[in-house]
Structure 1
């Protein structure tokens, strides 16, 4: 693994710190708020509703489109609906509702109209028109079962008409309906308290929840809110984060038109069954009025008053398949915001958020993980890892939201992407510049493993080496000089480059390192510079593949009609591996007697007519990976001790019957030869001499020794006269 400089680690740490802190700044709240919107939609589509709507503690009575189309309300201004509203209010209270809140504000009364009608204003002629409504409000207020809404708006709040305020006992039963929109005009939280007349008053939702539970809300000195024994979580002081379920039916909704008809026919049982113990909110459910974008905007549904009916049938559009084709709006009616808040409070299910410190910690963690990945791998994989990290955070956030915890998503995701881009940029501009220069400069001269070791050491190469167990690979083209004489220099260079490229690709593909080219010869090492416990096996595999590839090349036009043969020598043992040369110029290479023996074995092939020859040391380290035949015991120039030599037949399990028969006949002949049965050896070798050059050599030697028997001290060792 690459060792990074302290400078690089410090730079990346600054990138992580900057990315993590910047995305947690308040200036980016406009972007970060979308996290809750995305997670709400994912949670809804993944898990569905968290609660059974039928068990919702808060329900809505909606003045919907059907209400405006149903007589006697159709065609009448809403100011004239007060008697009907009072009738439904009374029926809901008598039905056992815990509390009723009005998300509708009637700031004026028709009794206050000053429009002339004859000799008197219209209001004077309709004096007492709101009496039934006011009486219903007053009766409900006596038992603390009604809360009117108002909209705080600077010095000119939108408040209920004076008669309504008096009927409910003034501010005691009036609460603010204002919502809290983030910087992007999306409602994700709802205020818990407002300052009215210099003192804090609960919001409409908090007041309704408190009255339903029969406790008084408490604003603690530290700014937190307690509802009985429930301390309401609040990331933004004095607000609650809304836990929208998703879809369109999470809050049971009853059509006002249906309830008015139900009250008119006197079905008290329906009101008791429907509203007993509930917090009830009166509000509008219209296409154009009081609609807001919320964190539910990606998980909305087709709204409608689809709760069980009492007297009127549902509108035809709600009962037909055509309704399923109606567009789904991202906004929802404002009454659902308050109803959701009441449900969250009563269920003790207000969303928890980490707060700015928690968001910063998560963003720093994401940036740190992303930057670490960008340091360890290439840009493409680092980008994929970062995307995977964001996907994991998204999945975690979706599950967490299912359990009431709203984790940040967009901010940490941006931090991770920025940290990845920053780290990759730093690597491209500074950290990897020297590495790229070294790789580009030395790629054609040094093995990739050597360059990697130089970079890992973070220091220039120096003279020196170490003893390593390796397998050395020597190859040479048979009859190269005579072939070269028939070709022009340009053709010879192109021909040699084609041959050397093919053989080098095979050697490196098997894990070898090409040490040098000497004319038409290739010197390669297996087991260095990279450690390879199977270096002997890989070297033999490379030799077999080189032989197979050369046979294919001999049939192509690339070799210009020349039928090549090459000789390969393999030997394993201890060798000095490292940078060897002068102080000004050196080369990464190997040196030892094991290297010299490999060179001698390559040359020994020409005496036996073989293409690959390996020492018994190499054979012993390959296990049962290959099928071998022992060729002879030889004494090479420069060595006193004889060396047993072997030829690889094929990989284990790939030996043909003809190869097996030939090897068996050769083994019989060699055994008789070493037993001084030269006549028998000549016969055994003779059976395959026509197709096997080593057998032909031994048949000739055996016949000569049969004619002229050797001295008693003769040993079955063949001494090579040359290299």
Structure 2
């Protein structure tokens, strides 16, 4: 996880707001409809929320292909079907139907035909042909059980011919649909303004008559029916809930019902239509087909209902289609209203807030994690949110789906772009600058800490590490160039691996020398401790190489390491055209001098007092001396790290104790006793041998009173 700064927070908020606002804006309102389509498809696929058609309060009587192909309708114009329609409607009414609605419009009567027929017109010779039909309409209408349909239009309205309107006492309601900008029907009008007053749409009128209630319009503009506040995301519309994908609407073939009338089976009409809302409409393959929210899942033209008189025609199993017959749109509205099951959509403010919130979650992930991880978070979050949306849609609540998904995807891409162009520029620079000479784990630490090295230099408290091979020049003279390169590559690689694994940064190689620092460029509060630990490991590793590696055989390499801690300037230093990340200060010079001072004392590692002090009690030490190095007037107390605290050997502890006693006697000017103390380990400890010799010399020739126990080194 990357460190998030104030600029990132501002960018996150802006990206989420902009993405959410764009994808819920009016120009992209088709996304709201697409959400309904996807939710309908997912619910149908995952939940399979099917209902028993027998429980449906609405049924469809279909003038279908079978009707057109069966006598007496086969080959005859539909204007001649009115008598049979009247007979079927009468039987349906006697069967107990609550109300019948027409989704077909007979604009003309055959009695109005002007086709010449002998000395008069064809229509004149058929006067009275529609009498029985009109009587049936009047009788059913008088019982309040019939509503004819019409299409309202300023240019070309479709209305029943005048005699029908008179027969039903103008009980005619509009069949107009509400089409979204993408030509898909997802909502249906509730009412239409006719002569300045609201008149219910066909489906609302049928539901009102079935429930025995009248539609009511609240002061807020919401429409209510029988205590049900109809949800309306778009004013004066109801959002359709195709819960059964059309298969929950029983469908009767009109020609079979006509044959049933001939058969005189009143019980069938009672079983089929008692207490039902009946819609009469056409179901044909190429006429009055509507795209609805079922266009992605596929819808069905109802479920074939029980037959009465005619055998079912041999036909392939019904398949889902992207469009459905228009009569099922009205049937769905009726069922939604009666069962209080219309879809509730969130209004614009809530959709926008939810979209922005989801985008904000994803953009936060994109800001905090790597792009691949953020993409996985987006996929997982989208899947979880989709599952929640489908669960809500089972209960007729439509949460926005496409808007949050697309807005979050756009936010994800925007944040990745922002990071690439702006936020991660320093990180990329850091990785590129240090990739070849800094351990990957150190780079990751720097990136995670967010503390980048300042261009031009900055003050850091660091520990400098200087190492050099002893007498390597003379050894190199005895080797071929190939052998020398192999030896140095193995040595430097081994030492570098140890230094970098302890958080150190190798500044440069100078021949067989290594210059490294701890505490920069990665900020490391334990830099002194890590530097000492690395020095001990390097010393042990060289012993292993001398013992086991073929390239080191016979050379017995030894090295000297100097450590010093303090303030130093670190940064990119050099010319305008070429620079290097390096370090400069007196801290560096002292570490270099301590490396060289090892040869005077016969030690392998020497550290300054400041380094020793910053390691706490992590190591066992012995104080070597107080020295004045070349180029520095102030004395420096120097120490030798022996091992990790508690890990020193018995010989090391014995030598350190004798050396400490001798050093105390030396500084007290008791040179004879100092010589005795140093002499205890002089045979095995070069530093003790050096001080024993010096103590004996001073015992024989004491120094003047102003002498101080400080060793001034003349060389490097």
TM-score tier, shorter chain, comes to: 0.7 to 0.9
1:219 aligns with 2:220: no
Correspondence for 2:66: 66
Q: 1:229 is matched with which residue?
A: 227
Distance change >3 Å, CA 715–CA 263, structure 1 → 2:
farther
Distance 1:713 1:426 in 2: 68
| Pair 540,479 (structure 1): closer, same or farther in 2 beyond 3 Å | closer
Secondary structure in 2 aligned to 1:396? helix
Q: Secondary structure of 1:195's partner?
A: strand
Aligned to 1:307: 305
CA contact (8 A) 2:233 2:344 kept: yes
Using the TM superposition, give the Cα deviation of residue 29 of structure 1 relative to its aligned residue in structure 2, in angstroms: 1.7
Equivalent residue, structure 2, for 1:103: 103
Q: Deviations over 1:644-692 (max 9, x none)?
A: 548999xxxxxxxxxxxxxxxx99x999999xxxxxxxxxxxxxxxxxx
Residues 500/633 of structure 1: CA separation in 2 closer, same or farther (3 Å cut): closer
| Maintained 8 Å contact 1:463/1:579 | yes
**Which shows bigger deviation, 498-507 or 254-263?**
498-507
Q: Does the aligned pair in 1 maintain the 2:246–2:303 contact within 8 Å?
A: no
Match in the other structure for 1:344: 336
Q: Which moved more, 1:443-452 or 1:12-21?
A: 443-452
TM-score (normalizing by structure 1): 0.74
Q: Give me the whole-angstrom Cα distance separating, in 1, the residues matched to 2:233 and 2:385.
A: 20
The SS at the match of 1:317 is coil
Equivalent residue of 1:200, what SS? strand
How far 1:512 sits from its partner (Å)? 5.7
Q: What displacement does 1:130 show?
A: 2.0
Find the counterpart in structure 2 of residue 91 from structure 1.
Answer: 91
Match of 2:286 in 1: 288
Aligned to 1:686: none
Instruction: Tell me the distance in 2 between the aligned counterparts of 1:267 and 1:355.
Output: 51
- Residues 192 and 199 of structure 2 are in contact (CA less than 8 Å); yes or no, is this contact kept in structure 1? yes
> In the TM superposition, what whole-angstrom CA distance separates every residue of 1:666-721 from its partner, at most 9, and x where no partner exists?
99x999999xxxxxxxxxxxxxxxxxxxxxxxxxxxxxxxxxxx999986795234
Corresponding residue for residue 174 of structure 2: 176
Give the aligned partner of residue 719 of structure 1: 685
Match status 1:587 vs 2:583 = yes
Instruction: Give how far 1:312 is off.
Output: 2.6
Q: 1:682 maps to what in 2? A: none
Written as runs of structure 1 = structure 2, the 5 A alignment for 1:261-280 is 261-280=259-278
Indicate the residue corresponding to 1:685 in structure 2.
Answer: none
The within-5 A match list for 1:623-662 is 645=643
Distance in 2, matches of 1:502 and 1:149, equals 92
Question: What is the 5 A alignment of 1:432-581?
Answer: 432-444=424-436, 447-448=442-443, 451-452=446-447, 455-456=450-451, 463-465=458-460, 480-481=472-473, 484-485=476-477, 496=488, 500-501=492-493, 504=496, 508=500, 514=506, 517=509, 519-520=511-512, 523=516, 529-530=523-524, 579=569
Please state whether the residue corresponding to 1:373 is helix, strand or coil. Answer: helix
Measured after TM superposition, the shift of residue 215 of structure 1 is 0.3
Task: Measure how far apart 1:211 and its partner are.
Answer: 1.0
Distance in 1 between residues matched to 2:190 and 2:308, nearest whole Å: 35
Query: By how many angstroms is 1:47 displaced?
Result: 0.6
| Equivalent-residue separation in structure 2 for 1:425 and 1:105 (angstroms) | 59
Counterparts of 2:586 and 2:641 in 1: how far apart (Å)? 21
How high is the TM-score relative to the length of structure 2? 0.75
Displacement of 1:178: 0.8
**Residue aligned with 1:149, SS:** strand
Q: CA distance change for structure 1 residues 450 and 305 in 2, over 3 Å: closer, same or farther?
A: closer
Structure 1 residues 344 and 715 mapped into 2: Cα distance closer, same or farther (>3 Å)? Answer: farther
Structure 2 gap ranges (5+): 575-580, 605-611, 627-636, 657-674, 691-715
Going from structure 1 to structure 2, the CA distance change for 1:479 and 1:671 (only over 3 Å counts) comes to: closer
Cα distance in 1, alignment partners of residues 545 and 256 from structure 2: 92
CA–CA distance in 2 between the matches of 1:30 and 1:269? 48
8 Å Cα contact 2:455-2:571 kept in structure 1: no
Paired residue secondary structure (2:97)? coil
User: What is residue 143 of structure 1 aligned with on the other side?
Assistant: 143
- Looking at structure 2, the residues matched to 548 and 643 of structure 1 have their Cα atoms a distance apart, in angstroms, of 17
Find the residue that maps to 1:60 and give its secondary structure.
strand
CA contact (8 A) 1:439 1:451 kept: no
Tell whether the 8 Å contact from 2:249 to 2:302 is kept in structure 1 after alignment: no
User: What corresponds to 1:76 in structure 2?
Assistant: 76
Contact 1:53 1:249 in 2 (8 A): yes
Q: Structure 1 unaligned segments of length 5 or more: list them.
A: 609-614, 623-631, 650-665, 675-709
The residue number in structure 1 matching 2:634 is none
CA contact (8 A) 1:475 1:567 kept: no
